Amino acid sequence: MRRPFEVPPIPGPGWAYFLDLDGTLLELAESPGIVRVDAVLPALVERLRQSSDGALAFISGRSLDDLDRLFPGHEYPAAGQHGFERRDAQGHRFTLPISTRGRAQARQRLSRVVRGHPRLEFEDKGSSFALHYRRAPRLAGFAHRSARAVRRSLGSRYTVQAGKRVVEIVPAGRNKGSAIAAFMREAPFAGRTPLFIGDDRTDEFGFAVVNRLGGCSVKVGPGRTAARWRLPNVEAVIAWLKDGRPHPRPARSVGRR
């Protein structure tokens, strides 16, 4: 049992960086479209990329196009839509083939759900759908029931995935863990010690893979987790990546989980 927020090892040579964004490097916002990229973040990410000889990748629920919008001028290696799409260090894109049958109807049904409950937000990511209820947490049960009903119409090709005040309908067979495993088989990631930092349930797949590879798994914030270390918030993550120690340090200690 580790103390909560025990400082992870200092980042150093030989590491491969796998970074979630929302809730990890970016503060959560009411809508994913209005998040703010801290002024220090682009330079920090680029420094980590250079210091690791390019072994840095974003591992996100956002689409690759959305990641590029947040970090213009760079096309970092990345896994988008929870691993459904991936871009390697050479810029090659990989997308899991999947039938589009039923998707138009699913999109229409989810759009109707949001028209009836305007504080919900429907996000069409291209190959996956999300219902956000950050502005209406009392609608969590309704959002999850709606997503499950739509998923049933799509069949076993899709699965429902829960996150922080969001429920998503995503293609089955890929997750953040499988994306990290794929990167670790390729240059410049292969042979390095993987680090993955994340804050949400969907990041647990990544923690499991990194633990199996003997790497450093870091959970941001409270909640049960398989991660071996923990940091309290986005501010602490950025401070640790900058100089190896989070600020501010918490005042008390309890069990890891």
**What is the end-to-end Cα distance of the chain in Å, rounded?**
8
68, 99, 125, 126, 167 from 103: Cα distances, Å: 25, 9, 12, 10, 17
Distance CA 77, CA 29 (A): 24
Contact 112, 120 (CB under 8 A): no
253 by DSSP, 3-state: which? coil
Burial bucket for residue 99 (CB in 10 Å: 0-12, 13-18, 19+): exposed
- For residue 229, give every residue at least 6 positions away whose Cβ sits within 8 Å of its Cβ, in sequence order, or none: 2, 6, 7, 8, 216, 217, 218, 219
Nearest residue to 122 via CA among 133, 134, 131, 113: 131
Q: Where are the beta strands (DSSP E) in 103-241?
A: 121-124, 129-132, 158-163, 166-171, 193-198, 216-220, 229-231
3 by DSSP, 3-state: which? coil
Contact 224, 4 (CB under 8 A): no
Task: Give yes or no: 199 in active site.
Answer: no
Which two three-digit tokens encode residue 159? 């699965």
Catalytic residue among 20, 66, 68, 199: 20
| Active-site amino acid positions | 20
